[in-house]
Amino acid sequence: MWGRKIRVLWFALLFSCSICAEEQEVDGYAPYDPQDVEQSRRLAVQDARQQAALQAGVEISTTSTAGHPQNDETTLRSTGVVKNARVLDEQAEGDLFHVHVAATTEPGNLPYRKKVVLTRFAVLHPSQMPDIAAIEDEYPKEIMRRLEASQRFLVNDATQYSVLEGSGPGSLERENREVVHRVAFQNNAQLVIAGTIVDAGSTPSTDVRSSVMGDWIPSLKKDVRRIEVDLYLYDGVNGNLISSQRYTATARGRVEMDRGVPFASRQFFHTDFGTAIEKVMAAQVQDLIKTMGCLPFMARVVRTEGETVFIDAGATSLVRPQDVLSVSRRESISPLLDMDGTTTLGHVEKYAGTVTIVQVQPLFSVAHLDRKGTRLTTGDYVLFRGSDE
């Protein structure tokens, strides 16, 4: 193994507001082999190019193990592109070969960050969870934190709202489209997430006996507790349900939580029941990332001035100057219904051309209509169709 200089890297912000190529000077290092200086130089230049690409843009992802921060893994993936590199200076420094390089870089293409809002979860049987305080709020907040950690979404806390109506099993699963749309509008969100804690009851174990060396002895008693959670993903534009799925896990052993243990804390996840909840949450977050990543990015037109359009997505959503987005308009106010006339399928949308982003602010962007004569109004949508995967 060879020694390596410790470097401090200053990463460019993911939402850099310029896509223009720029030149920056970086350093690269490689093992120094006096018998093959050219190979040392090549490896050092390769290292410098990697540093330049990282400074042009970096995607950070963290894999966490509940309750075990020492096992967390953080991965950096370069999203920048190096167009050209010139060696300005080079020299051997002990067992390292050092090059100083001028590199021309530009940010690579990153998926837009969709705006998502988490609402309060319904609890079907509150009496089953006297040992877990405010799970209806704390559960979605933990989902929110994990989605934020993925660096792929802008997530907002709206646990003061519930989009699930009624109190019985059937009514809890019936979406309230108007409420969903209102919550999305008030929180400037494209997608709305809700859920139901269906079951968290425990069952005392029976006294099971086993044979050891021919003698029957009682086994250790282990209580059983089940966690069952329904998860709903809604389209905030029309309130329609995009996906719903039930997740279950079973805990055996220490299934009653100590009072005062914060939900989703390290101590919480160290319990048997906490481990079961962690299993369910991890599967939910993974499925949400996959499903939401396949949906088109959408932003709302909030103001128009002739051929100039203002949209409610900016640098924090990774929108950049010169990006081209499609414009979609509803053809009618009335939604399209199914054959029975009981289920809303959505609204018919009409393609209205494209806009080109000309200016980006943190929370909004200014765009120019590419087709003369096109008239947009507040409430129209711009979108980018393509997978984020």
Query: Token pair 């792929």 is at which residue?
Result: 152
Mean pLDDT, range 96-124, rounded to an integer? 86
What pLDDT band is residue 171 in, cutting at 50, 70 and 90?
Answer: very low
Mean pLDDT, range 315-322, rounded to an integer? 91
Question: pLDDT value at position 377?
Answer: 85
Question: pLDDT value at position 319?
Answer: 92
Give me the chain's average pLDDT, please: 79
Contacts of 95 (CB under 8 A, 6+ apart): 2, 3, 31, 32
| Maximum average pLDDT range among 53-62, 74-83, 108-117 | 108-117
| Maximum average pLDDT range among 9-23, 83-97, 205-219 | 83-97
Extents of the domains making up the chain: 22-107, 114-293, 297-384
Assess whether pLDDT exceeds 80 at residue 169: no
Q: pLDDT of 154-167, one tens digit each?
A: 999 999 999 886 44
Considering the four listed CATH numbers 2.40.160, 1.10.1660, 1.10.10, 3.30.1660, the one that applies to the domain covering 22-107 is: 3.30.1660
Mean pLDDT, range 246-250, rounded to an integer? 96
Q: pLDDT of 217-240, one tens digit each?
A: 444 455 899 999 999 999 998 888
Alpha-carbon dihedral of residues 320, 294, 333, 338, nearest 10 degrees? 170
Question: pLDDT value at position 276?
Answer: 95
What pLDDT band is residue 135 in, cutting at 50, 70 and 90?
Answer: very high
* Contact present, 210 and 153 (Cβ < 8 Å): no
Mean pLDDT, range 129-153, rounded to an integer? 93
CATH architecture of the domain covering 114-293: 3-Layer(aba) Sandwich (3.40)
CATH of domain 297-384: 2.40.10.410
Spatial distance between the Cα atoms of 254 and 249, rounded to a whole number of angstroms: 14
Assess whether pLDDT exceeds 80 at residue 299: yes
Phi-psi group of 31: left, alpha or beta (phi > 0 → left; psi -120 to 50 → alpha; rest → beta): beta
Strand 344-346, strand 191-199: pairing: unpaired
What pLDDT band is residue 61 in, cutting at 50, 70 and 90?
Answer: very low
Question: pLDDT value at position 126?
Answer: 93
Mean pLDDT, range 275-283, rounded to an integer? 95
Element of type H or E holding 53: helix 37-56
Spatial distance between the Cα atoms of 378 and 376, rounded to a whole number of angstroms: 7
Assess whether pLDDT exceeds 50 at residue 360: yes
Spatial distance between the Cα atoms of 112 and 120, rounded to a whole number of angstroms: 26
